Amino acid sequence: MIQLTEEQEMIRETVRKLAKEELAPIAIRIDETGEFSWEVVDLLKKHDLLKLKLPRKYGGLEVDYTTYYMVIEEIARVCASSSMLIATQGSCLTTIIVSASDQQKDRFLGRLGKEGFLMSWALTEPNAGSDVNSMQTRAVLKGDYYIVNGSKCFITGGGVADIYTTFVKTDAKKGDRGISGFIVEKDTPGFSIGKIENKMGMRGSQTTELVFEDARVPKENLLGRQGGGWQILMESIKETRLGIACQALGIAQGALDYAANYTKQRVQFGRPISEFQGIQFMLADMKIHIEASRALIYQTASMLDRGKRDILPFAAMAKCLASDTAMKVTTDAVQILGGYGYMKDYPVERMMRDAKSTQITEGTNQIQRMIIARSLLK
């Protein structure tokens, strides 16, 4: 339904092949073991998929938004833990691109272009999830360093990333004007990785606690100005939410593909179950919701491609619709496979567990609905 250019079609075919042939077998293994896979990182690196949004001057591909989101969707069709690596990398790159000074870009993005390391994005804290403003982690400027104390939780890529774009309070009394963004390097003294989470889904994506104990972050690593973190967050989060919407879309499409094919193979009452209207209507509803999500996602992506940045409510709508669709579609896919759908020998139960995360990450769907309602009532 979306009109792709020849180049976008070509990229989609390449990524689809990579996902199907090389990532699909790994997806099963990493879900089972819950281990982070450097094999996946190497595959994504080999195809430059961790540099999709990196500007060309630093050795990246600097693709348009439509292409970037399409790649996430394609990989999520077979392995959402792998596409999460691309989405997280994109979130950090966006944050740096919208806020870093030229010197910081030369330093960090230049290194990224050469080394291709992973990046991680840290906002959530044990007592500050949806209510970002109640964050407790503090940074105080002392000489040439910000001394950071506190912790972050549920951080994707914790322990495997080289740099962490991190948001903390530099002035507790100033509300959201007291939040500042920093680049924290993995070997920062006083910075360490805490608990590694054991998750329901997205099990091949490492999620950890980050601990700051008098961590010494050089003042040159402050992003933008002190107290300007909230604006950076708002500017980057609209793009990154669309990435989660694509994760959800890919998971839903993967589940529908599998379920539709299964209905043609599975025979009951002497006929393939695809001939039963009860099953056909389920498949049709799955398809309707997937195409509606796809339309909203790529319409929003095309706004970004046309330089329109005022997309916050559209990104929220796309994220809500796509993730609720992913949850419904994957649950129905399990139903269509019957008892087999409930078994780990088939991928749809994994997709159902992975889909749940998309309703929570990058702001829960309740928070997205608040944003949508606020924008329509103002």
Ligand X SMILES: Cc1cc2nc3c(=O)[nH]c(=O)nc-3n(C[C@H](O)[C@H](O)[C@H](O)COP(=O)(O)OP(=O)(O)OC[C@H]3O[C@@H](n4cnc5c(N)ncnc54)[C@H](O)[C@@H]3O)c2cc1C
Q: Which residues are catalytic?
A: 362
130 near ligand X, rule: CB under 6 A: yes
182 near ligand X, rule: CB under 6 A: no
134 near ligand X, rule: CB under 6 A: no
Do residues 85 and 76 lie in contact, with contact meaning Cβ atoms separated by under 8 Å? no
Q: Which is nearer to ligand X, 170 or 263 (CB)?
A: 170
208 near ligand X, rule: CB under 6 A: no
Q: Which is nearer to ligand X, 98 or 279 (CB)?
A: 98
260 near ligand X, rule: CB under 6 A: no
The least CB distance from residue 1 to ligand X, in Å, is 29
Q: Which is nearer to ligand X, 18 or 84 (CB)?
A: 84
58 near ligand X, rule: CB under 6 A: no
Looking at residue 137, the DSSP 8-state letter turns out to be -
User: Within positions 183 to 202, which residues make up the interface with ligand X, using CB under 6 A?
Assistant: 202
SS3 314: helix
207 near ligand X, rule: CB under 6 A: yes
The least CB distance from residue 253 to ligand X, in Å, is 20
The single-letter code of the amino acid at 5 is: T
Pairing of strands 119-122, 163-169: parallel
121 near ligand X, rule: CB under 6 A: yes
The single-letter code of the amino acid at 149 is: N
43 near ligand X, rule: CB under 6 A: no
The least CB distance from residue 125 to ligand X, in Å, is 8
- Binding piece for ligand X, criterion CB under 6 A, among 124-132, 141-149, 209-217, 234-242: 124-132
Do residues 336 and 282 lie in contact, with contact meaning Cβ atoms separated by under 8 Å? yes
The least CB distance from residue 144 to ligand X, in Å, is 27
The least CB distance from residue 159 to ligand X, in Å, is 12
What H or E segment, with its residue span, contains residue 156?
A: strand 145-156
Do residues 221 and 182 lie in contact, with contact meaning Cβ atoms separated by under 8 Å? yes
What residues contact 62, with CB distance under 8 A and at least 6 apart?
53, 54, 55, 56
SS3 212: strand
SS3 189: coil
228 near ligand X, rule: CB under 6 A: no
Q: Which of 67, 124, 240, 274 binds ligand X (CB under 6 A)?
A: 124
Q: How far apart are CA 220 and CA 146, in angstroms?
A: 10
Q: Which of 154, 164, 212, 262 binds ligand X (CB under 6 A)?
A: 154
164 near ligand X, rule: CB under 6 A: no
Q: Which of 63, 87, 155, 233 binds ligand X (CB under 6 A)?
A: 155
Do residues 190 and 248 lie in contact, with contact meaning Cβ atoms separated by under 8 Å? no
How big is the site for ligand X, counted in residues (CB under 6 A)?
19
The least CB distance from residue 170 to ligand X, in Å, is 18
Q: Among 171, 130, 142, 167, which residue's Cα sits nearest to residue 152? A: 167
Q: How far apart are CA 280 and CA 343, in angstroms?
A: 23
Q: Which is nearer to ligand X, 167 or 262 (CB)?
A: 167
b/e 166-181 (16+ beta carbons within 10 angstroms → b): bbbbbeeeeeeebbbb
122 near ligand X, rule: CB under 6 A: yes
Q: Among 115, 116, 105, which residue's Cα sits nearest to residue 57? A: 105
Q: Which is nearer to ligand X, 74 or 125 (CB)?
A: 125
372 near ligand X, rule: CB under 6 A: no
Q: Which of 282, 357, 368, 371 binds ligand X (CB under 6 A)?
A: 357
Do residues 137 and 148 lie in contact, with contact meaning Cβ atoms separated by under 8 Å? yes
End-to-end CA distance of the chain: 33
- Binding piece for ligand X, criterion CB under 6 A, among 10-18, 19-27, 55-63, 355-363: 355-363
Q: How far apart are CA 86 and CA 154, in angstroms?
A: 17
Residues that bind ligand X (CB under 6 A): 121-124, 129-130, 154-156, 202, 207, 357, 360-364, 366-367
